[in-house]
Structure 1
Amino acid sequence: MSGRWKRSRYALLFPSFDGHGVVYHALNGSVTLLDPDANGRARAVLWRPNYPYRSEDYRRLHGEFRKLGCIVPAGLDELAQAKKAHRAARRQKSDLSLTLAPTLDCNLRCVYCFEGTHPNIYWTPDQEDAVFEFADRHLRPGGNLSVHWFGGEPLLALDTVLRFSRRLMDLAAGRQASWTCGMVTNGVLLTPETFAALEAVECYDFQVTLDGPKAVNDRLRRGRRGESPFDTILGNLRALDLSRASMRLRVNILKQTAAHAMDLIRQLASEGFAEQLSVYLAAVDATTKACHGMDGACLSPEEFAEWHFGSLLELEDLGFPSECLPTPMQSYCGADRGNSFVIDARGDIFKCWNHVGLPEHRIGNIGEAKSMRPEKESWADWDPFADRECAECPVLPSCVGGCPSAARDSLSKARKCIHVKHKLADYLNFHVWKHMRDAV
């Protein structure tokens, strides 16, 4: 115990079951269950780390907390350490991430869509070449080229997706760079034949959305002529060999649909999907003017946390993984990383895919990609560590300010902290309970 010590600003102690305690460290992600005796000593040791404890039990706990990073040298600036890692992650150039929307056209008309209208616009051959040249300039030897196909609905441009994926695969191979590929699709056109064609270009990661059982989903997500997409999407999922890919089913949660979301999950479980796909329960946010009318229907992070936590036990019982602890991250998403770009069917370049099809948010155009707009600098200037409330938050390393786009321009203006923060003790205890159950 030599030297001066202090409690880590990122070490959090919560009560747990039957007199136990649970310690969560937001910087390294560790979760430690303390027995009742250790829990009784934990607060004294954490809040008085320089006291000359004589009891072997207190001294032993002090040593354990040092190993866990819960007690650190008094001179250590953990905030500066986290900020340095955050900035390094945002500056790294070895990974090139491209979200590509080869069309703004879509075969659905979702009431909450942030893109608004869906013009019949597709990449031209010249635009394809310009996007390829952009990738060629930004991909470094030995790096990683990560591509996510987006839209509109990318499967309306399937030929382009396949052809251009092959070009990018060849580019990656020539640079000895790794290649990863995924797609966000509404699933209407994701037939077994299309699935096999995408598999041939190593597109293995998919996100499809259903917003509840048929009646709920089809009220929110209808075809452009008013037709029902639910049966088509679910039929496609039934027909696919999902063991050959990673399939994530997104279920968007609104105030009026939250009560029905689990009806869909029960239906999926009854059909054996728990072993084939993962479920992502996602709060809808009114991020753009196109969907500002939905703001009153959106759950706040606090409201969503309350609902989401209440659904975890049933998700577990139905066989769907429900690990939901916040994990340490050095940057939140591609929007705050320098070598991550979104390119839409007009050739406009963005930092966030919430801005696809919205020219006012572009940072440039693929035809003039060497001269980015000033908005790029505003993205580079966005810094959660400069926000006093974020900088003082003990969960900052597991959140890094939340969604950069929401923090910058969400219409609701509310702070977009990760929802888990608002019920962190409950989520931690659920995590502990689950691991104790699985260990029996």
Structure 2
Amino acid sequence: MKLSMYNIETKTKDGLLIFNTVTSGILLLNEEYTLEYEKLKIDDGKCQKDDLIKEMIRCGMLVDDSTEELSKVIVENNVNKYAHNIDFTIATTMNCNFACPYCYEEGVRYNTMTKKIADKTIRFILEQTTSNTPLSIYWYGGEPLLDMKTITYITKELQKNKDKFASYSASIVTNGYLLTEKVAKQLKKLNIENVQITLDGPAYIHNKRRYLKASKKPTFETILNNIKQCCEILNISIRVNVDKSNMECVDELFQTLCEKGLKDKVSFYISPVSDFSENPNKQCFSNQEFSKEQVDFYLRMIEKGNKIVSVPHANYGVCSAISPFSFLVDPLGDLYKCWNDVSRKDLCVGNVETGVQYNEVLSKYLNYEPIKEKKCFKCSILPLCLGGCPNENMVLKKTNCSPLKFNVSNIVEYYYKSQLI
């Protein structure tokens, strides 16, 4: 047996914490067991603790001498990439009631899907599925709740053919302004039970960044009230888009949610605002900068008794954009591979009426190799990032290391601490 190349060790005041990035297994070793563990690093070293050996094998921290771990990770990634799970992201409208300054959709066509295109979208989806195919639908935009009529129509037509799917799931990404209790109940009936809503900080920050397009009126209180009314109906995840201008206010937002009784009723996470242009906005964090902000935030949350740290998991498949069975449909029925490409005609890979076009864009996505840089081959976090975002890497023409490269030890330690609360 040999130690896995994907073990990450962290010394804490409680002992040695070992994390395996393939299995997400975690072990905390006291001083006695740490000494036995260290013997495993020595050639022909004999560990005297059979229970330690057994547990390390179970957690993937000890593997057979013949195991080619890098090759195994690559195979697992390819298996997931080509797993026949059908994913469709559908943007029935590119219209939006907000005017967010960082929105990537600036300049795109503000179309809304017609019934004719909706019917062709339904037919295209059904043509891609078989009786053993799990189908996942992600409703997107624009602001998708501006077009509940089309969402309802497409969903009901797909559900008439539910025998074609091995399983069916649906999620929606919304700004939350129109998510009333009535709308939440409609979504629930349509099996759209997972909702992502963005808040960019407490009211005085959020309202400067996410305001109504037509009137410039604030949106925070309406969204917060909607979340309170709907969190018992739907599974709500709150995302905070952070950069250097609002990161210091995230704690205040979380405290506001706690005061409103939402602490254990919604999930909560922070995500960096990204800019892939040649001259990126200086307010945006680099991955290394964000990694520090993220762990500092987690530590503050733990110190206040909040369990919001999640243990990292292997990211096999990397992204549905590189899967041959995943597409994004825009209001005109045009097909795309990535959310960042939607409604940009030069990045289109077909149409629901004429079918998939194997052009240069599609070729780049489907032939994308996530593990091609030598620096990745021996990296212990490779199973967690698999080279990172394909779209980002293709735009930048280089692989940027994930924030996990810089903070995974801290996150695992904080996750362990959070379990003791």
Normalised by the size of structure 2, how large is the TM-score?
A: 0.93
- Alignment of 1:396 with 2:387, yes or no, is no
Secondary structure in 2 matching 1:208: strand
Matched, 1:48 2:37: no
The question of whether the paired residues in 1 share the 8 Å contact of 2:139 and 2:173 is answered with yes
What is the distance in 2 between the residues matched to 1:62 and 1:197?
A: 52
The partner residue of 2:261 within 257, 263, 272 is 272
Match of 2:334 in 1: 348
Specify the alignment match of 1:69 in structure 2: 60
Change (3 A) 1:100 1:319: farther
Q: What residue number does 1:261 align with? A: 250
Deviation of residue 319 (structure 1)?
A: 6.4
1:363 is matched with 349
Q: Quick check: 1:6–1:49 contact (8 Å CA) kept in 2?
A: no
8 Å Cα contact 2:2-2:62 kept in structure 1: yes
- Structure 1 CA distance, aligned partners of 2:71 and 2:218? 53
Cα deviation for residue 23 of structure 1 reads 1.1
Contact 2:309 2:418 in 1 (8 A): no
Describe the SS at the equivalent of 1:346: coil
Partner in structure 1 of residue 412 of structure 2: 428
Shift of 1:223: 1.4
Distance in 2 separating the partners of 1:371 and 1:119:
21
Tell me the distance in 2 between the aligned counterparts of 1:194 and 1:63. 51
Please identify, of 69-78 and 105-114, the stretch whose mean Cα deviation from structure 2 is larger: 69-78
Distance in 1, Cα, partners of 2:16 & 2:102: 42
Distance 1:37 1:357, change over 3 A: same
How far does the alpha carbon of each residue in 1:141-199 deviate from its partner, in whole angstroms, 9 at most, with x for none? 1321111110011111110011111111222x131531111110111111112112112
Equivalent residue of 1:297, what SS? coil
What SS does the corresponding residue of 1:274 show, helix, strand or coil?
Answer: coil
Structure 2: segments with no counterpart, 5+ residues: none
Give the residue type in structure 1 aligned to 2:111.
I
Deviations 1:398-431 (A, max 9, x none): 2111221112215xx7744332331222222212
Matched residues in 1 for 2:112 and 2:190: separation?
21
Counterpart residue number, 1:90: 81
AA of the residue aligned to 1:22? L
Equivalenced residues, count: 420
Structure 2 distance, partners of 1:321, 1:359, is 43
CA 1:313–1:386 in 2, change beyond 3 Å: closer, same or farther? closer
Question: Is the 8 Å Cα contact of residues 6 and 50 (structure 1) preserved in structure 2?
Answer: no
Q: After superposition, what is the alpha-carbon deviation per residue over 1:377-403, rounded to whole angstroms, capped at 9, x for unaligned? A: 111111122222222211111211122
TM-aligned CA deviation for residue 109 of structure 1: 0.9
Kindly indicate whether the alpha-carbon contact (under 8 Å) linking 2:109 and 2:343 is maintained by their aligned counterparts in 1: no
For 2:241, what is the secondary structure of its paired residue?
strand
Q: TM-score, normalised by structure 1?
A: 0.89
In structure 2, the partner of 1:80 is 71
How far apart are 1:275 and its partner, in Å?
2.2
Alignment correspondent of 1:14:
10
Name the SS of the counterpart of 1:379 in structure 2. Answer: helix
Aligned to 1:27: 22
- Alpha-carbon offset, residue 231 of structure 1: 2.1
Q: Distance in 1 between matches of 2:248 and 2:143?
A: 28
**Alignment of 1:141 onto 2:167:** no
The alpha carbon displacement at 1:224 in A equals 1.2
Maintained 8 Å contact 2:195/2:237: yes
RMSD: 2.1
One-letter identity of the residue aligned with 1:37 = E
Structure 1 counterpart of 2:222, one-letter code: T
1:369 aligned partner, one-letter code: G
**Alignment correspondent of 1:247:** 236
Matching residue's letter, 1:432: Y
Q: 1:126 to 1:214 in 2, by over 3 A?
A: same
**What is the rounded CA distance, in whole Å, between the counterparts of 1:160 and 1:48 in structure 2?**
64
Q: Residues of 2 paired with 1:182 and 1:61: CA distance?
A: 42
Judge conservation of contact 2:302–2:414 (CA < 8 Å) in 1: no
* Gap regions ≥5 residues in structure 1: none
Partner Cα distance (1:201, 1:397) in 2: 35
1:212 aligns with 2:197: no
Alpha-carbon offset, residue 297 of structure 1: 1.2
Please give the alpha-carbon distance, in whole angstroms, between the structure 1 residues aligned to 2:229 and 2:246: 27
Could you report, residue by residue, the CA deviation over 1:331-373 in whole angstroms, capped at 9, with x for unpaired residues? Answer: 1221122211111112221111122222222222223224332
2:129–2:165 Cα contact (<8 Å) kept:
no
Equivalent residue number for residue 405 of structure 1: 391
Cα distance in 2 for partners of 1:318, 1:433 equals 12
Equivalent-residue separation in structure 2 for 1:346 and 1:180 (angstroms): 24
Query: Are the aligned partners of 2:96 and 2:146 in contact in 1 as well (CA < 8 Å)?
Result: yes
Secondary structure in 2 aligned to 1:244?
coil
One-letter amino acid of the structure 2 residue matched with residue 420 of structure 1: L
SS in 1 for 2:328: strand
**Percent same amino acid among aligned pairs?**
24
Aligned to 2:154: 164
The 3 A distance-change label for structure 1 pair 131 and 266 is same
Give distance in 1, aligned partners of 2:108 and 2:218: 18
Residue deviations 1:104-127 (CA, integer Å, cap 9, x gap) = 111111111111135431112221
Distance 1:204 1:143 in 2: 20
The code of the aligned residue for 1:365 comes to N
